[in-house]
């Protein structure tokens, strides 16, 4: 049985078996849960289908969040993607999906927390377009979610995935690392390259604070999901190019924990600092709640 205590152990187990990380994890989880692998795969496929539906709903014109602060981001980016954009049609579509799923969450729609609701658009943003554009088969995409999930389990055990504990690096940083690993596997990369991709993604978001305006998972959270997608793709490409992380992924995870512990409470989902404490951030809080905003550092 796998213990999910380190990425090194995960990648090592897969390399020793001559299999993908997802294949090793699927078999291990099926044994641990005393269920058939096909049944467990079917449950993961249902989760992927929820992601696809959240993307569809989030791209609908006129969708607004419950607070009214956000809405339409996924739809606007979907239209923009048709022009190609500066990043090209595929990556702009990926950003559209990320914005759409995060927007669906803000509108109280059904999403899959991957690993959290605040970062729910990153994995779908990376994986749903691969299916829509015919770049990967659905079976392989669903399998890659087992790799992403396993990496997330290690991160949760050795650091954290909650913004209230470790800042947004713990949410979007973890999600980007998970997605990057899944992308590498889908592209035919080695287990070690999956680890490198995760490490690069986490390293590029160390210190990212959690500063939700008005205390709501909308501003800047929704747009950070799109940024997280771009970090995941670039991290995966670097790893696939043979670029090593230099700092091992498990050490990056440990560093993320130490950075999160060092962040002041004002920068950990309290809406007491960062963008939430700007004049506009305070004004938006008053608009929603009709009361004075929290003071910086509260």
Domain ranges of the chain: 7-286
- Return per-residue pLDDT of the chain as tens, 298 residues: 999 999 999 999 999 999 999 999 999 999 999 999 999 999 999 999 999 999 999 999 999 999 999 999 999 999 999 999 999 999 999 999 999 999 999 999 999 999 999 999 999 999 999 999 999 999 999 999 999 999 999 999 999 999 999 999 999 999 999 999 999 999 999 999 999 999 999 999 999 999 999 999 999 999 999 999 999 999 999 999 999 999 999 999 999 999 999 999 999 999 999 999 999 999 999 999 996 545 544 3
Tokens, residue 262: 């060092």
Return all residues near 57 (Cβ < 8 A) that are at least 6 apart.
63, 100, 104, 107, 109
User: Quick one: pLDDT at residue 263?
Assistant: 98
- The pLDDT of residue 292: 59
How far apart are alpha carbons 247 and 86 in whole angstroms? Answer: 31
- In sequence order, the 6+-apart residues with CB closer than 8 A to the CB of 209 are 167, 168, 169, 263, 267, 268, 273, 274
Q: Which residues contact 140 (CB under 8 A, 6 or more apart)?
A: 186
Contacts of 171 (CB under 8 A, 6+ apart): 115, 116, 118, 119, 161, 162, 163, 210
> DSSP label at 285?
H
- Separation of alpha carbons 296 and 114, rounded Å: 30
CB-based burial label for 262 (10 Å; 0-12, 13-18, 19+): exposed
For residues 213 and 202, give the distance between their C-alpha atoms in angstroms, rounded to a whole number. 24
Q: What is the DSSP string of 46-69?
A: HHHHHHHHHHHHHTSTT---SSSS
Q: Say if residues 194 and 25 touch (Cβ distance below 8 Å).
A: no
Phi first, then psi, for residue 37 (nearest 5°) are -60, -40
Contact 109, 55 (CB under 8 A): no
**CA 62 – CA 154 distance, rounded (Å):** 39
């Amino acid at each position: 049985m796998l213990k999910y205590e380190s990425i090194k152990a995960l990648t090592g187990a897969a390399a020793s078996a001559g299999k993908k990380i997802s294949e090793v994890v699927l078999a291990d989880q099926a044994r641990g849960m005393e269920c058939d692998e096909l049944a467990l795969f079917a449950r993961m496929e249902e989760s992927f289908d929820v992601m696809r539906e959240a993307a569809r709903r989030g791209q609908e014109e006129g969708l607004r969040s419950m607070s009214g602060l956000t809405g339409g981001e996924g739809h606007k980016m979907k239209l923009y993607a048709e022009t190609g954009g500066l990043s090209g049609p595929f990556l702009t579509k990926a950003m559209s999906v990320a914005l759409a799923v995060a927007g669906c969450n803000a509108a109280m729609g059904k999403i899959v927390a991957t690993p959290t609701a605040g970062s729910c658009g990153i994995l779908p943003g990376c994986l749903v377009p691969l299916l829509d554009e015919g770049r990967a088969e659905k079976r392989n995409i669903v399998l890659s979610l087992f790799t992403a999930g396993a990496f997330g389990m290690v991160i949760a055990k050795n650091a954290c995935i909650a913004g209230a504990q470790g800042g947004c690096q713990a949410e979007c940083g973890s999600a980007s690392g998970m997605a990057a690993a899944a992308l590498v596997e889908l592209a035919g990369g080695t287990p070690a390259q999956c680890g490198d991709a995760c490490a690069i993604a986490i390293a590029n978001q160390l210190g990212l604070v959690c500063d939700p305006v008005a205390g709501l998972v909308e501003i800047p959270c929704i747009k950070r999901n799109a940024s997280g997608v771009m970090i995941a793709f670039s991290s995966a490409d670097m790893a696939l190019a043979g670029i090593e992380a230099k700092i091992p992924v498990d050490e990056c995870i440990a560093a993320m924990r130490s950075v999160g512990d060092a962040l002041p409470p004002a920068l950990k989902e309290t809406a007491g600092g960062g963008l939430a404490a700007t004049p506009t951030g305070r004004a938006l809080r008053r608009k929603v709640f009709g009361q004075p905003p929290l003071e910086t550092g509260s």
